[in-house]
């Protein structure tokens, strides 16, 4: 374990006794120094590689000094007991100093499926004060039914540590805290969940969508005594709620960041409102042609990133065609990880842009 300053490491997948379970996604937690009062809040992002290979990115901050951080590319393979993961290279470091450095080595993790928890022990190369460290990560995952009856009281249950529920991705509308939330849903609803367990600037917000089945029961209403209607107010111009700005523009416009399931070209339900609005604008302006461009973060193999960016752009184009936009007005292109807007890893790089073209 590093005794002088700061360091980092991580791990990814566990193979079960019968079948390997996917641990792809984002994990949030901490590394603690063995026998010392030092800690490093961390975020681990995981994706599958070829065969038994796994790829990942580990982000860590110095406890109490969040401006000091490091990002590592990680790689390893599944084993019968879990996974052995090694550092590949340092991707990024903020506020480096001559006396401070980050330890590198290998980590062995164990997976607790009931808690969606990763715990592990790091063994570092004996450089400077590096020796060992311990990791604890949690992942937010829906554990109750993904579909509930419309209008019926239901308890939604998730994993994670110190979970906060929000009605919006910007986390401006809190609705609950904890691993259980009792509610009544009348339509398919997406909640946005974050963990308060060692948060960092890279901590993920996880979208959980709960669908409803069957018609919602009407809300009971009590009879009301008749009242005199107030005199109508003079009509006023609608300046309180201005119309939203149009999506179409001659320069690239980024569609909502959360568009696809991790590592796939499958559109998420929360992508539909923006795409429906875009389709409506295109149908209202039949002379406009549109270019759809897909982008990825610089995580994983460039060839896979290129293919994924093309598939995601094509998925948006196909959605617009199904919404009634003529296919010959739409083109799709993928740029892979060649046009990142932010230092990797950053979810904002995993985007789709649209641009009106002549």
In tens, the pLDDT along 101-128 reads: 888 999 889 899 899 999 989 999 888 7
Is 70 exceeded by the pLDDT of residue 7? no
**In this predicted model, which residue has the larger pLDDT, 21 or 178?**
178
* CATH classification of the domain holding 258: 3.30.1330.60
User: Which range, of 43-47, 71-75, 206-210, 342-346, averages the lowest pLDDT?
Assistant: 342-346
Contacts 24+ apart (CB under 8 A), 88-94: 91/57, 91/298, 91/344, 91/345, 92/343, 92/344, 93/69, 94/67, 94/68, 94/69, 94/70
Assigned domain for 234 exists: no
Final residue of a structural domain among 97, 119, 138: 138
Determine the pLDDT at residue 46.
Answer: 81
Average pLDDT over residues 303-324: 88
How many domains does the structure of the chain reveal?
3
Is 50 exceeded by the pLDDT of residue 15? no
Average pLDDT over residues 137-157: 95
Q: At 183, phi and psi to the nearest 5? A: -155, 170
Assigned domain for 105 exists: yes
Assigned domain for 335 exists: yes
pLDDT digits (tens, 9 = 90+) for 211-250: 999 875 555 555 554 444 454 544 444 333 343 444 555 5
Instruction: Please give the share of the chain, as a percent, with pLDDT higher than 70.
Output: 81
Instruction: Please give the share of the chain, as a percent, with pLDDT higher than 90.
Output: 32
pLDDT band at 83; cut points 50, 70, 90 = confident
- 49 and 133 part of one domain: yes
- 70 and 91 part of one domain: yes
Assigned domain for 5 exists: no
* Structural domain range at position 124: 14-138
Average pLDDT over residues 290-300: 84
Average pLDDT over residues 319-341: 88
- 85 and 170 part of one domain: no
* CATH classification of the domain holding 74: 2.40.128.120
- 171 and 99 part of one domain: no
- 172 and 284 part of one domain: no
Average pLDDT over residues 55-66: 90
- 291 and 347 part of one domain: yes
Assigned domain for 246 exists: no
User: Which range, of 78-92, 211-225, 268-282, 327-341, averages the lowest pLDDT?
Assistant: 211-225
- 305 and 204 part of one domain: no
Final residue of a structural domain among 74, 109, 138: 138
Assigned domain for 336 exists: yes
Assigned domain for 218 exists: no
Final residue of a structural domain among 162, 195, 213: 213
pLDDT digits (tens, 9 = 90+) for 161-216: 999 999 988 889 999 999 999 999 999 999 999 999 999 999 999 999 999 998 75
- 134 and 165 part of one domain: no
- In DSSP terms, 42 is beta-bridged to 29, 60
- 85 and 171 part of one domain: no
- 64 and 177 part of one domain: no
Assigned domain for 99 exists: yes
Determine the pLDDT at residue 193.
Answer: 96
- 26 and 59 part of one domain: yes
- 75 and 169 part of one domain: no
């Amino acid at each position: 374990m590093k005794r002088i300053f700061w360091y980092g490491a991580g791990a990814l997948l566990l193979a079960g006794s019968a079948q390997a379970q996917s641990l792809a996604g984002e994990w949030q937690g901490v590394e603690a120094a063995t026998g010392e009062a030092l800690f490093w809040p961390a975020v681990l992002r995981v994706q599958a590689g070829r065969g038994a290979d796994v790829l990942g990115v580990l982000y860590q901050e110095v406890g109490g000094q969040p401006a000091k951080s490091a990002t590592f590319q990680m790689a390893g393979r599944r084993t019968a007991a879990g996974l052995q993961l090694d550092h590949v290279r340092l991707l990024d470091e903020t506020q480096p100093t001559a006396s401070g450095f980050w330890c590198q080595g290998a980590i062995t993790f164990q997976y607790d499926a009931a808690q969606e928890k990763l715990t592990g022990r790091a063994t570092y190369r004996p450089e400077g004060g590096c020796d060992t460290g311990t990791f604890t990560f949690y992942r937010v995952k829906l554990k109750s039914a993904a579909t509930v009856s419309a209008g019926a009281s239901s308890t939604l249950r998730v994993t994670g540590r110190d979970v906060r529920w929000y009605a919006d991705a910007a986390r401006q509308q809190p609705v609950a805290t904890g691993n259980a939330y009792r509610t009544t849903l009348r339509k398919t609803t997406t909640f946005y969940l974050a963990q308060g367990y060692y948060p960092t600037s890279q901590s993920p917000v996880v979208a959980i969508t709960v669908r409803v089945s069957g018609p919602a029961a009407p809300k009971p209403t009590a009879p009301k005594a008749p009242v005199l209607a107030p005199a109508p107010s003079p009509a006023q111009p609608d300046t309180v709620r201005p119309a939203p700005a149009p999506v179409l523009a001659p320069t690239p416009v980024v569609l909502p960041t959360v568009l696809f399931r991790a590592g796939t070209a499958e559109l998420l339900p929360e992508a539909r409102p923006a795409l429906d609005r875009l389709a409506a604008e295109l149908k209202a302006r039949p002379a406009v042609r549109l270019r759809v461009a897909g982008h990825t973060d610089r995580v994983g193999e460039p060839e896979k990133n290129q293919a994924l960016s093309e598939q995601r752009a094509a998925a948006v184009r196909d959605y617009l065609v199904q919404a009634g936009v003529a296919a010959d007005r739409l083109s799709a292109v993928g740029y892979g990880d060649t046009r990142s807007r932010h230092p990797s890893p950053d979810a904002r790089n995993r985007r789709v842009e649209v641009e009106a073209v002549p």
